[in-house]
Amino acid sequence: MTQSKNRKFDYTLLTALFLLVITGLVILYSTSAYNGDVKFHDSFYYLKKQVFATLLGIAGMFVVANMDYHVWRHFAVLGYLTAILLSVAVLFIGDEINGSKRWLSLGPLSFQPSEFAKVAL
């Protein structure tokens, strides 16, 4: 069985996705413009951050969509062990926010290992 290099996307799904993303960005701006203006003197502060993250996510989506998913099978055990290690690390070096430890900080980046565990498992 040969795989076609000419893969096609589901354009209906992509259209729905982009409509939801644009709607989300409009809602984000409408709810955060005042707060961004007061705190950062830029009503587009939160929108700019989210647009950057959205563009990274869309680029990642197209990269992953063009990958052979069978490649990830070789990294399954490593991903599982990393998820466990990060989950345990939260107990010792996690950031406490609102009375609970859920986040790990790596310089300017912070993330929840539970989210990584959902992807890895």
3-state secondary structure of 110: strand
Cβ neighbours, 10 Å, residue 14: 14
CA distance linking residue 18 with residue 106, whole number of Å: 31
Global pTM reads 0.66
Question: Over the stretch 56-114, which tens digit does the pLDDT of each residue have?
Answer: 999 999 898 888 888 888 888 998 899 899 889 888 888 888 888 888 888 888 888 88
Q: What is the pLDDT of residue 97?
A: 81
List helix spans (H) across the chain.
11-40, 45-65, 76-93, 113-120
Question: Over the stretch 24-37, which tens digit does the pLDDT of each residue have?
Answer: 999 999 999 999 99
101 beta partners: 96
